[in-house]
Structure formats: structure tokens, C-alpha cells
């Protein structure tokens, strides 16, 4: 593939807003791969409940978002779009200097399905980069199906995770992290200025899922 990726096996992973299905799904997969995972929420008890729901014996625990942001080596932002900016503004100092992985999809829904919302900064990831000017913001994990991540019967997840960012060491680290999920490849997908269409593509995947009764993902060919 032309990418030399770093060894990330010792890194701990925090997931802000980790009580939603996508956050829990990622938490489960990274914990199964051997990472210490911290699930963050506004409420420590809800975070711990989410951690407990993943089953016994996994290295996952819950805490309030600020503790998770301080403690984890890498922090994934998995909050609903509504609370995205305000959460990040509240955690600027905790996230200073860290790799912050934004996987938020700004979508609206109506009776015709999902559609992309306009974002002043261009995309959720670019908004994160503006708010967290002292962090290393990477965009990734937009298209992973929470259903598949959470299903213990699914041993391999059949998709590529597109990883976008302007800091090559940070994108390489997140590519390596994505590749810790069996079946997944972390593929470099361009700079942050091209994140909008990756986030918005989730609306198309929702249309595809509805038409084909699938949990659709992407694979990049010839890579």
C-alpha cells in the first residue's frame, strides 16, 4: 500500500460521547484489540454503564468527558453534531497537543431520508480544527456501521476507514489505529479541506442501506 504505519498497540483511546452506538462500537473493537479504552460522557455513571454494557473482561471504563480527554493518548470525538462545537470548546486545554479524531457526520433527516448539513467551517472536522487550534485534528471513522461494530458474531468488518488530515504523522497513527479492527484498512483520504464530502457521504450510505437492506461500507480499489 505504500504506507509505513507506526505501532500503536500501546496507546489508550478515549471516546468523547462514547455512550452512543458508534462510540460503544468503536470502544468494543479497540478494547478487544487490547487497547485501554475510556468512554466519556457528561455523566460518569452513564459512561460506566456504557462500558459495562460491552461485557466483562474488557479493558474499558467510563468517566466524565474532561477526565477522558486528559487521560487518553488519543481522543475520538463521537458526539452528536448538535453538541459538537460546545463540547470541544469546553475541552480545549485537556486536548492541547493531542491527536483528536473527529468522526462526526453533520446530517439532517426528513421524510426523503438523510442529507448533509452546511457547516460554517466547511465540515465537522474543520470546525474541530478551528476550535482546537492546539490539537492535531484528524477525520476518520465516519462510515463504520455501529451495528456491525457491536455485533459479536461479526469477526471482520468489511470496509476501509478513510483518514484525513494535514499532519502526516497524525494521519499515519490513526490509519494504524483503524487497522487494529479486524478487516479494516486505514487509508489516507486527503487533507481536512476535503473532509466535508466524507462526512456527507454517510447520507448516501444511509440511502444505500435503505434500498439494499444492507450495512454498506466503502472499499478503495487499487490500493
Q: Note the residues at the interface with a copy of itself (CB under 8 A).
A: 1-3, 112-116, 158-159, 162, 164, 187-191, 193-194, 196-198, 200-201, 203-204, 206-208, 211-223
Q: How far is the CB of 191 from a copy of itself (least distance, A)?
A: 6
Q: How far is the CB of 202 from a copy of itself (least distance, A)?
A: 9
Residue whose CB is less far from a copy of itself, 14 or 189: 189
Pair 72, 38: CB distance under 8 Å: yes
Could you give the 3-state DSSP secondary structure of residue 16? strand
Q: In 3D, which of 39, 139, 128, 51 has the Cα closest to residue 91? A: 128
Provide the minimum distance between the beta carbon of 37 and a copy of itself in the complex, in angstroms, as a whole number. 25
Give whichever of 33 and 218 is closer to a copy of itself, judged by the CB atom: 218
List Cα–Cα distances, 92 to 15, 74, 114, 205, in angstroms: 15, 14, 31, 32
Q: Which is nearer to a copy of itself, 89 or 223 (CB)?
A: 223
- Kindly tell me which of 44 and 107 has the beta carbon lying closer to a copy of itself: 107
Identity of the residue, 43 or 197, whose beta carbon is nearer to a copy of itself in the bound complex: 197
Is the four-CA dihedral 147, 148, 152, 154 of positive or negative sign? positive
| Shortest spacing between CB 207 and a copy of itself, in angstroms | 4
| Least spacing, CB of residue 148 vs a copy of itself, in Å | 8
Q: What are phi and psi of 199, to 5 degrees?
A: -65, -45
Point out which residues pair with 16 in neighbouring strands: 77
Q: How far apart are CA 38 and CA 13, in angstroms?
A: 6
C-alpha separations of 65 from 42, 46, 157, 171, 220 in Å: 6, 11, 28, 23, 34
Four-CA torsion 216, 219, 220, 223, nearest 10 degrees: 180
Q: Which is nearer to a copy of itself, 80 or 220 (CB)?
A: 220
Amino acid at each position: 500500500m505504500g504506507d509505513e504505519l507506526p505501532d500503536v498497540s500501546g496507546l489508550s483511546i478515549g471516546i468523547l460521547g462514547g455512550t452512543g452506538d458508534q462510540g460503544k462500537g468503536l470502544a468494543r473493537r479497540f478494547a478487544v484489540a487490547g487497547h485501554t479504552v475510556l468512554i466519556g460522557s457528561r455523566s460518569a455513571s452513564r459512561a460506566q454503564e456504557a462500558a459495562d454494557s460491552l461485557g466483562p473482561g474488557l479493558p474499558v471504563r467510563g468517566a466524565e468527558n474532561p477526565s477522558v480527554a486528559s487521560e487518553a493518548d488519543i481522543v475520538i470525538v463521537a458526539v452528536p453534531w448538535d453538541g459538537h462545537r460546545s463540547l470541544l470548546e469546553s475541552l480545549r486545554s485537556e486536548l492541547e497537543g493531542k491527536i483528536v479524531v473527529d468522526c462526526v457526520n453533520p446530517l439532517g433527516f426528513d421524510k426523503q431520508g438523510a442529507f448533509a448539513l452546511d457547516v460554517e467551517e466547511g465540515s465537522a472536522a474543520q470546525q474541530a480544527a478551528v476550535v482546537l487550534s492546539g490539537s492535531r485534528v484528524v477525520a476518520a471513522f465516519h462510515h463504520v456501521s455501529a451495528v456491525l461494530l457491536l455485533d459479536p458474531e461479526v469477526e471482520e468488518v468489511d470496509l476501509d476507514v478513510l483518514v484525513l488530515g494535514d499532519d502526516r504523522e497524525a494521519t499515519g497513527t490513526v490509519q494504524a489505529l483503524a487497522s487494529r479492527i479486524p478487516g479494516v484498512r486505514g487509508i489516507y483520504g486527503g487533507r481536512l479541506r476535503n473532509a466535508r464530502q466524507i462526512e456527507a457521504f454517510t447520507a448516501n450510505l444511509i440511502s444505500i442501506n435503505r434500498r439494499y437492506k444492507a450495512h454498506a461500507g466503502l472499499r478503495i480499489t487499487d490500493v
